[in-house]
């Protein structure tokens, strides 16, 4: 079993490395991959960088080079619903790229041309195990659609629109792209995001991003031990 873990920020993967042994590093397409073990599991971790293109480059390189059996995307997100506040956790049952828009051609917003899909499903078994870990740790979470786009969502009207259009519970900048690459490569994936910003937007992010990222790592280490 080889598990891939992708974060957008260095602090997410640095904290995961503390739980890893037999560490090796390799740089591919500008991305540094850290491989090692957690217990009896092989783990490959990487910082993708922020945004959809960086996330796609990282995911494709990880799949083709390390032949991972699954990928977990961790990190932080902004809440898009009243049920999730700062330091709560969003778990994806599906992902959507909210900035895909060929509606001028008659397509629904979010349609992925070529796949003819709007929503891409996260792996059910991975999702259930992540939820078990969250429940056992007493962390409040919600399962739903996570929306991805190359935009930091800070305006209430932006958040409300995505919640109404896609029933999205959280918004971020990588998960949908990672899900897209996993989908075409037939690799199971999951997305877990700690909420770093609520109604306070960028101010909340600056205050809580690091704490929220640590919470995501705590859960994914437990997940790896249970897979």
Tell me which of 12, 123, 172, 174 is the catalytic residue.
12
Q: What is the DSSP secondary structure assignment for residue 49, as one 8-state letter?
A: -
Contacts of 152 (CB under 8 A, 6+ apart): 78, 173, 202
Tell me the C-alpha distance between 101 and 22, whole Å.
44
Tell me the C-alpha distance between 14 and 19, whole Å.
10
Indicate the SS3 state at residue 86: coil
124 is a catalytic site residue: no
Indicate the SS3 state at residue 115: coil
- Alpha carbon 40 to its chain centroid, in Å, reads 24
Q: How many residues does the chain have?
A: 227
204 is a catalytic site residue: no
Indicate the SS3 state at residue 114: coil
Tell me which of 123, 172, 197, 204 is the catalytic residue.
197
Indicate the SS3 state at residue 179: helix
Q: Vertex 8, ends 31 and 29: CA angle to 5°?
A: 15
Show which residues are catalytic. 12, 197
């Amino acid at each position: 079993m080889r598990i891939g873990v992708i974060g957008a920020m260095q602090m997410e993967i640095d904290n995961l490395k503390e739980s890893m042994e037999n560490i090796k590093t390799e740089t591919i397409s500008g991305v540094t991959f850290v491989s090692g073990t957690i217990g009896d599991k092989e783990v490959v971790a990487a910082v993708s960088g922020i945004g959809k293109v960086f996330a796609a480059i990282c995911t494709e390189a990880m799949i083709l080079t390390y032949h991972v059996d699954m990928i977990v995307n961790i990190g932080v997100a902004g809440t898009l619903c009243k049920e999730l506040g700062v330091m709560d956790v969003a778990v994806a049952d599906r992902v959507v790229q909210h900035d895909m828009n060929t509606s001028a051609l008659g397509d629904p917003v979010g349609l992925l041309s070529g796949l003819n899909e709007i929503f891409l499903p996260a792996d059910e078994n991975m999702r259930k195990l992540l939820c078990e870990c969250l429940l056992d740790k007493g962390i409040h979470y919600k399962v739903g659609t996570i929306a991805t786009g190359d935009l930091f969502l800070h305006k209430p009207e932006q958040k409300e629109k995505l919640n109404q259009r896609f029933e999205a519970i959280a918004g971020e900048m990588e998960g949908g792209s990672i899900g897209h690459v996993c989908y075409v490569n037939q690799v199971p994936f999951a997305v877990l995001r700690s909420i770093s910003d609520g109604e306070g937007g960028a101010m909340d992010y600056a205050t809580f991003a690091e704490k929220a990222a640590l919470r995501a790592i705590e859960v994914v280490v437990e997940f790896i031990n249970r897979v």
